[in-house]
Amino acid sequence: MSDELLRVDGLHVSYGRVRAVRDVSFTAPRGELISLVGANGAGKSSVLGAVSGLVRPKSGTVHYDGANITRWPAHRRVAAGMVLVPEGRQILTTLTVAENLLLGGWRRRRAAATIAEMYELFPVLAQRRDLSAGTLSGGEQQMLAIARAMVAQPRVLLMDEPSMGLSPKLVDEVFRVIETIRATGVTIVLVEQNARRALRAADTGYVLETGVVSHSGPAPRLLADRRVVDAYLGG
């Protein structure tokens, strides 16, 4: 069996006449963390949109566990084990914490055990399970978004800007959780504007610039590359 769980080849994404992504290719081996980094507007979220099925690419292919899923709808990808933690959390604020987690297990008959595991991983969610999600802080809402995705028992977890808008302390907590999830064997594709932190957590990194992969390779090598440091990591 190949170690390659996710492969994206020659991806092009356009919005009308605007080309957001051009010829992007990358692979995500089983159990590894892949980071897509770059400036705001570089095309990172558009890549995840195409991989998750929320955006139809103009051309290119997405293969998951050996199957061509380029034309699969988003819900079929979730059922197959590819789950997105969207930018901006997108939790349902009028529902309780517990109800949001139940929605994460919509395709599963027995989600209670996984929800219990998420309460152990995120004790603050257990404490607030009966409160509306809209009463949570930004950091707590991000934890809820991650927990909701994990209830679906993903094999590939797509994470779009999980540290956006959070304090440094909460960013530390988010990356601690990411490492915990990765240790369970889940393959993670992480989109982050905090390039240095994302590459420190990753096995392999891809730097996007105006929709094109400008640099790629083992994350430690990118962190040591002076061109990447000067252009993307703040010197």
CB 11 within 8 A of CB 23: yes
What is the rounded distance in angstroms from the CA atom of residue 6 to the CA atom of residue 200? 21
pLDDT digits (tens, 9 = 90+) for 133-188: 999 999 999 999 999 999 999 999 999 999 988 888 989 999 999 999 999 999 99
Using a cut of 0.85, tell me whether the model's pTM lies above it. yes
Q: Rounded distance, CA 227 to CA 210, Å?
A: 17
Average pLDDT of span 124-129: 95
pLDDT of res. 151: 94
64 vs 112 pLDDT, higher one: 64
| Residue 108 pLDDT | 63
What is the token pair recorded at 140?
A: 């707590």
Tell me the percentage of the chain whose pLDDT exceeds 70. 97
Specify the 3-state DSSP secondary structure of 73.
coil
At 122, list the tokens.
């995120």
Quick check: 146 and 158 in contact, CB under 8 A? no
- pLDDT confidence of 1, banded at 50, 70, 90? very low
The residues near 59 (Cβ < 8 Å, ≥ 6 apart) are: 10, 11, 12
- Phi/psi at 206 (nearest 5 deg)? -130, 125
**Helix (H/G/I), strand (E/B), else coil: 208:** strand
- Domains, the chain, ranges and CATH? 1-81+154-161+189-235 (3.40.50.300)
Determine contact, residues 64/77, Cβ cutoff 8 Å: yes
Rounded Cα gap, residues 185 and 126, in angstroms:
24
Query: How many other CB atoms sit within 10 Å of the CB of residue 70?
Result: 19
